[in-house]
Amino acid sequence: MTVAERFLKYVSYETTSDETTGVCPSTPGQKVLGAALVEEMKAMGIADAYMDEHGYVYGTVPGEGPVIGLIAHMDTAPDCSGKDIKTRIVHYEGGDIVLNEEKNILMSPVDYPSLKHNEGKHLIVTDGTTLLGADDKAGVAAILTVAQELLTEGGKHATLRIGFTPDEEIGSGADLFNVKDFGAEYAYTVDGGGLGELEYENFNAASALVTVHGRNVHPGSAKNIMINSQHIAMEFASMLPVQSKPEFTAGYDGFAHLCEMHGEVERSTLEYIIRDHDRESFERRKADFVRICQYLNERYGEGTVELKLKDSYFNMKEKILPVMHIVDRAKAAMERAGVKAKVVPIRGGTDGARLSYMGLPCPNLFTGGENFHGRFEYIPIEDMEACVRTLKCILTEPELF
């Protein structure tokens, strides 16, 4: 199978993760795909392929030299439906793409400028009602295509350790990953976006739950008695730096993002994620939340505002800098594969961030996908093929032997 054929097969499996279930994997469809991947791996000659009880899939392509891992995740984001994905291939020659004529759903280069860089390529798109699943089934497809080529063609290559994880999209992909048994010296997550992206810096990340307690009485007799939690919640939000919102940031800029809010007079909640590449700035952002809560409690009474802060993951850069040769190896592999490397910071996180802190240094490589987590997600077939070439060059670099 080609990488595109594999990808189209994998996206037919519904594997949307769900952070509310409290189990691993969080949804049964992920194990269904995992079992299918194990069968495929065994059929191509990966004798030790297996899926553990938590839905993690592992396997080995024996070789020489170092043991290098390639990792991708099987789940898709809960931000958008991943059920009954309808795909088609468009030879893109510019202008708008009609994804769904009946519903008048168009994808325009005005709204999605990345299209301008992909003219002349063959794009896999949806019908505009679901996400596509390139994040990260494109990574799964690329890894298994490389494995198949190594097994078929022979020749010198590093030992390849394969790992497919569940629940990356809900931040749990590395929770039960068996780093010790995986046995790789280092690895790459194949979970990036546009052509040539190479990432070894990601956000430091935390979550914040702000709960505001009020007091309700009849509004006709509310003077000096009522405490409307919703107004205090809005006051809290207004005290955060105005420009530190995702819609005003890019590159290395950090932010505090209000993801969800609920409220009535007696109780309101604000759910935030806090992100910053710089650790000191990250700590200052968290301190802002503490400071604002203290101020509001002084103003309205102790216990009016409660704050729960929780760190999620940290910038992998700290763990990659001592082993920068693995980043240089990826750059050299891209050059051999005819791809221009673009070293960019991840404005998010990957399994690789947490795995790096678990002892497995793990930069992130492109798949070619664009517009992840939404109805306008797409991926050029040519860029998936470039990903395959890059991975193969990493594993066959002459300096490894």
Chain Cα centroid distance, residue 143: 17
CA distances to 225, 233, 270 from 267, in Å: 15, 9, 10
Catalytic residue among 40, 75, 127, 276: 75
CA distance 9 to 340: 29
Residue of 134, 63, 27 whose CA lies nearest to 401:
63
Instruction: Spell out a b/e string for 342-376, using b for 16 or more CB atoms within 10 Å of the CB, else e.
Output: eebbbbbbbbbbbbbbeebbbbbbbbbbbbbbebb
Whether 52 is catalytic is: no
Catalytic residue at 19?
A: no
> Cβ-count burial of 203 within 10 angstroms (0-12 exposed, 13-18 middle, 19+ buried)?
buried
Long-range contacts of 317-326 (CB under 8 A, 24+ apart): 317/200, 317/201, 317/202, 317/277, 319/356, 319/357, 319/361, 320/200, 320/356, 320/361, 320/363, 323/186, 323/361, 326/186, 326/188, 326/361, 326/363
Q: Are 374 and 80 a contacting pair, CB within 8 Å?
A: yes
Please choose, from the candidates 54, 101, 90, 46, the residue with its C-alpha nearest in 3D space to the C-alpha of residue 70: 46
Place of tokens 């490894």: 400
Closest by Cα among 15, 147, 31 to 83: 15
Exactly one of 40, 149, 167, 168 is catalytic; which is it? Answer: 168
Catalytic residue numbers? 75, 168
